């Protein structure tokens, strides 16, 4: 039970950070448009994104909300029913990040019909993104690494047995 509470607190804290940054972006960044964060590397640029990653499905809010909700229900199930024990610690961290980031952007979609983005790389052509996007991407990267290391450990264990 305590792991469930810790998971919920972590998800809530990450969502709170995301929403606070987005509120700051609307209040402070929107009026000026952009400001440097690290000159010539990354800037803070206010942007409202009506689509998903890379502005895909722009204007299809109903579909994005439905698909995101179903996907996040699966992530929540995995986090609260599959990730148990110390061996699953990194999987739990990954799912906490994915769930929090997904919910942070879902809150925007439901409340505002768009997502507030504000981080813009200047040295490459890359879409503007936000803290929630970082949570989702880092969480998925950690999850993929968990799967890869589990496969490696599983095959190594199988070789020793056989």
Whether 158 shows a pLDDT value over 50: the answer reads no
pLDDT tier, 153 (very low <50, low <70, confident <90, very high otherwise): low
Give the catalytic positions in this structure: 117, 133
Q: What are phi and psi of 49, to 5 degrees?
A: -110, 115
* Cα gap 132→159, rounded to integer Å: 40
pLDDT of residue 162: 42
Q: Residue 1's pLDDT band (boundaries 50, 70, 90)?
A: low
Q: Tokens standing for 148?
A: 């890869």
80-94, 97-111, 121-135, 137-151: segment of lowest average pLDDT: 80-94
Buried b (16+ CB within 10 A) or exposed e, 45-56: bbbebbbbeeee
User: Mean pLDDT in the chain?
Assistant: 89
* C-alpha dist (Å) from residue 40 to 37, 77, 156: 9, 42, 46
Q: With 70 as the cut, is the pLDDT of residue 130 above it?
A: yes
**Torsion angle in degrees (nearest 10) through CA of 69, 16, 121, 68:** 0
Q: What is the pLDDT of residue 66?
A: 93
Q: Is pLDDT above 90 for 161?
A: no
Residue among 130, 108, 26 nearest 61 (CA): 108
- As a whole-number percent, the residues of the chain with pLDDT over 90 amount to 70
pTM, entire model: 0.87
> How far, in Å, CA of 24 to CA of 116, rounded?
10
Q: In this structure, what is the dihedral angle of CA atoms 73, 77, 79, 85, given to the nearest 10 degrees?
A: 180
């Amino acid at each position: 039970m305590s792991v469930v509470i810790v998971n919920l607190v972590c998800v809530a804290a990450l969502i709170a950070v995301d929403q606070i940054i987005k509120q700051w972006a609307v209040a402070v960044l929107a009026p000026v448009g952009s400001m440097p964060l690290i000159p010539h590397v990354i800037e803070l640029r206010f942007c409202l994104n009506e689509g998903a990653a890379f502005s895909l499905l722009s204007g299809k809010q109903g579909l994005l909300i439905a698909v995101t909700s179903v996907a996040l229900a699966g992530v929540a199930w995995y986090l609260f029913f599959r990730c148990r024990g110390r061996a699953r610690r990194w999987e739990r961290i990954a799912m906490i990040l994915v769930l929090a980031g997904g919910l942070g952007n879902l809150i925007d979609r439901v409340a505002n019909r768009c997502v507030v983005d504000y981080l813009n790389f200047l040295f490459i052509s890359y879409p503007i993104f936000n803290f929630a996007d970082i949570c989702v991407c880092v969480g998925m990267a950690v999850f993929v690494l968990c799967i890869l290391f589990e496969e490696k450990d599983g095959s190594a264990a199988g070789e020793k047995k056989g």
